Amino acid sequence: MPAIYLGHGAPPLIDDHVWPRQLSEWAQRMPRPRAILVVSAHWGSAPVTVGATRTIPLVYDFYGFPERYYRITYPAPGAPDVAQRVKTVLGDVAPVREDPARGLDHGAYTPLLFMYPQADVPVLQVSMPSEDPVALIEMGRKLAPLRDEGVLIMGSGFMTHSFEAIRDVMSGRPQPQALVEFDRWAAEALARRDIDALVDYRTKAPAAAYAHRTVDHFVPLFIAVGAGLGHDAASRTAIDGFWMANSKRSVEFA
């Protein structure tokens, strides 16, 4: 299986006319996974913590949206065998905790609604234990053997995540060029496999502070980089373009 980094959008993604189709077509191009392992921007907890290994209610980790977004369900089966493998491959560094009451957050279920709409692929979410790119690359490298076991490794974030840009565009201002430049820089660094530049994105990337006031949505990329580029996988952009002013670039390492 490939390792992927995707933009998971916000709850209104379900109403978009283009992006859901792009996610669906991307999933159809990939081999069907035996299970999915998600590391989302919306669950940071150290040490690594394994979420529910059975079907439990979703985590609606957003506020102020219409009621219908809180009625979404995605009853994917759990993946206890993948949880055990995570403990095995990561547990030599630090204990892996368990949180059996922690359901999938919108960084996991929102894209999966369109990628695997039948909710018939087992899904396991684990926490992101750090925002340090080097640590996350190493985590991805340790998880990489699961790819050979049919597990789709997914880092879920957003290539740019600027609420300021959203407000500007909704006020009628044009697409911020700064976000275009950050997106282009990231795409070019990935294309030339420049892991050093990506790790040093705070100083190397143009408009990094504007694109990411907080970095939680960018750094899940490094899980996929570690599981992919760290094992000589080729990378390609699976989805590009902008949504609500921000880059929805999603990348596959296969």
- 3-class DSSP string for 151-216: EEEEEEECCCECHHHHHHHHCCCCCCHHHHHHHHHHHHHHHCCCHHHHHCHHHHCCCHHHHECCCC
Query: DSSP labels for the chain?
Result: --EEEEE---GGGGG-SSHHHHHHHHHHHSPPPSEEEEEEEEEE-SS-EE--SS---------S--GGGGG----PPP-HHHHHHHHHHHTTTSPPEE-TT----HHHHHHHHHHSTT--S-EEEEEE----HHHHHHHHHHHGGGGGGTEEEEEEE-S-B-HHHHHHHHTTPPPPHHHHHHHHHHHHHHHTT-HHHHHTHHHHSTTHHHHBSS-TTTTTHHHHHHHTGGGT--EEEEE-SEETTEE--EEEE-
CA distance 58 to 109: 8
Token code pair at residue 211? 């694109």
Two tokens at 67?
Answer: 């009621």
In the chain, the percentage of residues whose pLDDT exceeds 90 is: 91
Pick from 226, 9, 41, 35: nearest CA to 127: 41
**Mean pLDDT computed over every residue of the chain:** 95
CB 140 within 8 A of CB 153: yes
Residue in 239, 172, 182 with CA at minimum distance from that of residue 213: 182
Task: Check residue 185 and give its pLDDT.
Answer: 98
Q: Report how far residue 199's alpha carbon sits from residue 201's, in angstroms, rounded to the nearest whole number.
A: 6
Q: Is residue 141 very low, low, confident or very high in pLDDT (cuts 50, 70, 90)? A: very high
Give the whole-number percent of the chain exceeding pLDDT 70. Answer: 99
For range 183-201, the mean pLDDT = 96
Quote the radius of gyration of the chain (alpha carbons, Å): 17
Q: Per-residue pLDDT averaged across 54-75, rounded?
A: 96
Q: How confident is the model at residue 234 (pLDDT cuts 50, 70, 90)?
A: confident
pLDDT of 170 strictly over 90: no
pLDDT higher than 70, residue 246: yes
What does the alpha-carbon distance between residue 23 and residue 238 come to, in Å, rounded to a whole number?
A: 9
pLDDT score of 194 more than 90? yes
> What is the predicted pLDDT for the residue at 229?
81
- Of the pLDDT bands very low, low, confident and very high (cuts 50, 70, 90), residue 15 is very high
- Work out the pLDDT band at 23, boundaries 50, 70, 90: very high
pLDDT attached to residue 231: 65
| Domains located in the chain, CATH noted | 3-158+216-253 (3.40.830.10)
- Per the listing, tokens 């296969």 go with 254
Distance, CA of 67 to CA of 207 (rounded, Å): 35
